[in-house]
Amino acid sequence: MKTTNKSILKSILLILFIIGLSTTLSFAQDHGQTVSPSNLKIFVQYKLAQAHLLNNDNIKVEVNGNNIILSGTVPTLNDKNQAEVKAQSVDENYTIVNNLNVEIPNIADSELTQTIMDKIQSNLFYTIFDWLSVSSDNGVVTLKGWVHLPWLKSQFQSEIEKIPGIKSVNNEMQNTFGPEEFGIRIAKLIYNNPMFQGLQYIKNPPIHIIVNNGRVILEGYVKSQVQKDVAENLVRYRTDAFSVENNLTIRK
The type of residue at 118 is: D
Contact 1, 22 (CB under 8 A): no
Can you count the helices (H) and strands (E) in the chain? 7, 10
The type of residue at 81 is: N
Under CATH, what is the fold of the domain 109-175?
A: Histidine-containing Protein; Chain: A; (3.30.1340)
Check whether 13 has a pLDDT greater than 60: no
By the 10 Å C-beta count (0-12 exposed, 13-18 middle, 19+ buried), 156 is classed as buried
Residue 168 sits at the vertex; the CA angle it makes with 167 and 173, to the nearest 5 degrees, is 145
CA 83/CA 79 separation, integer angstroms: 6
User: In this structure, is the dihedral angle defined by the CA atoms of residues 110, 116, 119 and 121, taken in order, positive or negative?
Assistant: negative
Of the ranges 20-29, 50-59, 243-252, the best mean pLDDT one: 243-252
Domain boundaries, the chain: 2-102, 109-175, 180-250
DSSP lists the bridge partners of residue 208 as: 219
Give the three-state DSSP class for 42: helix
Residue length, the chain?
252
Residue of 150, 161, 116 lying closest to 134 (CA atoms)? 116
Q: What is the pLDDT of residues 213-233, one digit of tens each?
A: 889 999 999 999 999 999 999
Residue range 180-250 forms a domain whose CATH class is: alpha beta
Quickly list H helices, 73-108.
Answer: 77-90
* 106 — pLDDT class (breaks 50, 70, 90): confident
CA 218/CA 231 separation, integer angstroms: 8
Task: Quote the pTM value.
Answer: 0.76
- Would you state the pLDDT for residue 8? 47
Q: What is the DSSP letter of 137?
A: E
The type of residue at 32 is: G
Question: Is there a common fold for 2-102 and 109-175?
Answer: no
- Would you state the pLDDT for residue 188? 95
Q: What is the pLDDT of residues 31-68, one digit of tens each?
A: 454 568 888 898 899 899 889 999 888 999 999 999 99
Phi, psi of 100 (to 5 degrees): -70, 140
Residue range 2-102 forms a domain whose CATH class is: alpha beta
